[in-house]
Chains A and B, each alone.
Chain A
Amino acid sequence: MKEKLLDIRDEYLSFFTPAGEIKALNGVSFSMDEGEVLGIVGESGSGKSVTAYSIMGLTAYPGRLVSGSIRFNGHEVEKMSEKELRKMRGNEVSIIFQDPMTSLNPVYTIGNQIEEVILLHTDKTREEAKKRAKELLELVGINEPERRLKQYPHELSGGMRQRVMISIALACEPKLLIADEPTTALDVTIQAQILELMKELRSKLDMSIIMITHDLGVVASMCEKIAVMYAGHIVEYGTADEIFYEPGHEYTKGLIKSIPKLNSSEPERLVPIEGQPVDLLNPPKGCPFAPRCGSCMKICLREMPEKTELSETHYSYCWLHRKAEFEKGGGAE
């Protein structure tokens, strides 16, 4: 079997705050092949970004990996020293953040910030780094790259800054690009442009992408595989078609139902998912989604559902898959 580019097994990660242990990730497992595009969807606080940051060893204080393993590109990330992690960051794996307005340092020029990462990870001289920075700006579709290199972030628009962020991320040709809600802070038209650019770059550079978003439209158009996260669990995982056409978890169904439809003839109300997100300080015992689930059974409140494989690529964690079995055997009330 081919070595996976990324293989996360049973990752538990908590933030140890004065108020108590916030269990951000509760047994996250998934893997990615080279060249694959994975979308991670879920609401705020579901652990999407935390998962992605942990791949880079960038978990913010006071967060800590409790158990589990992260294999990336032949590294055992959880065992790497800070120095080894630094060599990997920005080089083998890089990231694009949500808000391009604040993600670039306001006091340094664009050129300086792109060249910095090139100089750090390659043996290029200043001149070569500058040339490479210019190429990168051309690659991400910025006009007059020569002039832009000398400009400061505040002199560029939001879309342009996100392009600069992408060029920084791509500078060392990473194997994996993590895009943490790259379009959330942008105008709709700019969003489309940035997504188009990412698709184009992906086929050009042949890299894997993890797309973190809460916008199902974005994942539908970009990703081959989708992981749906809820309260630090991956509740469902499958190909884009499987997730959209045969959702196997009530939360996924709820998410899909809450998308407005453009082509319906009747005026329709959006269907929200009722209830509040889980309090991660005191997560419920059973299925985390049970308190908000319309089809909740008694067992759901008691025990965490088991993994149910729906196809070779599709699995979900939901007791409903075994409802028939329970009814027959009388095991579930």
Chain B
Amino acid sequence: MGKYIVKRVGMGLLSIFVVATLTFFLMNMVPGGPFVAEKSISKAAQEALASKYGLDKPIMERYFTYITDFVKGDMGYSLRQRGRTVSDIIFSKFPVSAGLAGVAVAVALCVGIPLGCLSAYHRGKFGDRFIIVLATCGIAIPSFISSVVLLYTFGSRLNLLPTIGLNTFKSYIMPVTALAIYPAAYITRLMRSSLLDVMGQDYIRTAKAKGLAGFKVMFKHALRNAILPVVTYVGPMLAGLMTGSFIVEKIFTIPGLGREFVSSITNRDYTMIMGTTIILATLIIVANVIVDILYKIIDPRINLK
């Protein structure tokens, strides 16, 4: 196990290096630059800025400078948010997004798994169909629709929940709901199909022949075998959500990392693009290692090498 984790960390570092390299060259191939859009800046000023941030140097030199600085833990200054370092921005905004995502994923799991079980348990009956319709809607409705509907209903018309920021417990309700709808619906469907698959296995017949009650068969014998696909899905999804959702953060005015992803790209804020991409890659790699370890815990047949 320890050897496995060391190996995976090594592989992970390599992956991050590859991601960083690819991103670096790809973003430099895109036309435009961080200071191009600002019409008010004169040519001379633009050149001065470029030389201040080292953008006038050849691309290979910039690449090596970036990588060596990065290894030392320096991700450089943001090109657009003057005076702030990339690490500074990420560390101030990441916890906001991550906290929100953590709560949303917990909610999605707490809703999706029981609904999926319920649906599989009542296969073909009304309850099952109702849940499936609900889940399909949850997958089909984009978050900007659900956010706006929530905001309008509970924030504006009923005036029950705060519409801005994340200052109180109550203000978490709407953004968390908006974020959790899709994963909850997805987990429901995943859980249902996986459970139905497992319920057809021979060992479930054995459990029934032992005289176990239906819910015990499902929760003891089927659930543990059926949950692996859900674990697989939740790992990378959590990583994705932790880096923030542009739409939900924008609509609910949450100072999270999600907005930085989009704005850094439109602004050609090179150092910010690198920073956000690397943090997303890291999180996904970490999530996958955790998923693999959970696999081993859930299913003793799985051998981590």
Question: A168 on the interface (CB 8 Å rule)?
Answer: yes
Taking the complex as formed, is A89 at the interface, i.e. its CB lies under 8 A from any CB of chain B?
yes
Cα–Cα, bound, A78→B1 (Å)? 53
B206, A89: Cβ atoms closer than 8 Å: no
Check A120/B211 contact, CB under 8 A, given A106-B299, A107-B299, A107-B300: yes
Contact size range, A:
20 to 34
**B206 and A103 within 8 A (CB):** yes
Interface size on B, residues (CB 8 A): 20
B residues 186-225 in Cβ contact with A at 8 Å: 201-203, 205-214, 221, 224-225
A116 with B212: CB separation less than 8 A: yes
With A88-B211, A117-B211 already in contact, the answer to whether A99 and B224 are too (CB < 8 A) is no
Q: Does B300 contact A104, Cβ atoms closer than 8 Å?
A: no
Closest Cβ neighbor of A117 among chain B residues: B210
The reply to whether A105 and B208 contact each other, CB–CB distance below 8 Å, is no
Cβ of A58 under 8 Å from chain B: yes
B209 touches A90 (CB 8 A): yes
A105-B221, A106-B225 in contact; A58/B211 too (CB < 8 A)? Answer: no
Contacts of A168 in B (CB 8 A): 206, 210
**Given A107-B225, A107-B299, A152-B301, residue A97 in contact with residue B210 (CB < 8 A):** no
- Are A154's CB and B301's CB within 8 A? yes
A99 to B203, CA, bound (A): 10
Inter-chain CA distance A90–B212, complex, in Å, is 9
Asked if residues B211 and A87 are in contact (CB atoms below 8 Å), the reply is yes
A19, chain B: closest CB distance, angstroms: 17
Report B-chain residues with C-beta under 8 Å of the C-beta of A56.
Answer: 209
Q: Chain B residues near A58: list those with CB within 8 A.
A: 205, 208-209
B residues at A contact (CB < 8 Å): 201-203, 205-214, 221, 224-225, 298-301
Write 11 A-B pairs (CB below 8 A) sorted by A numbering: A86-B212, A88-B211, A94-B210, A97-B205, A106-B299, A107-B224, A107-B300, A108-B224, A152-B301, A154-B301, A168-B210
The 9 A-B pairs with the shortest beta carbon distances in the complex, nearest first, are: A89-B211, A90-B211, A90-B210, A102-B202, A105-B203, A117-B210, A86-B211, A103-B202, A152-B300
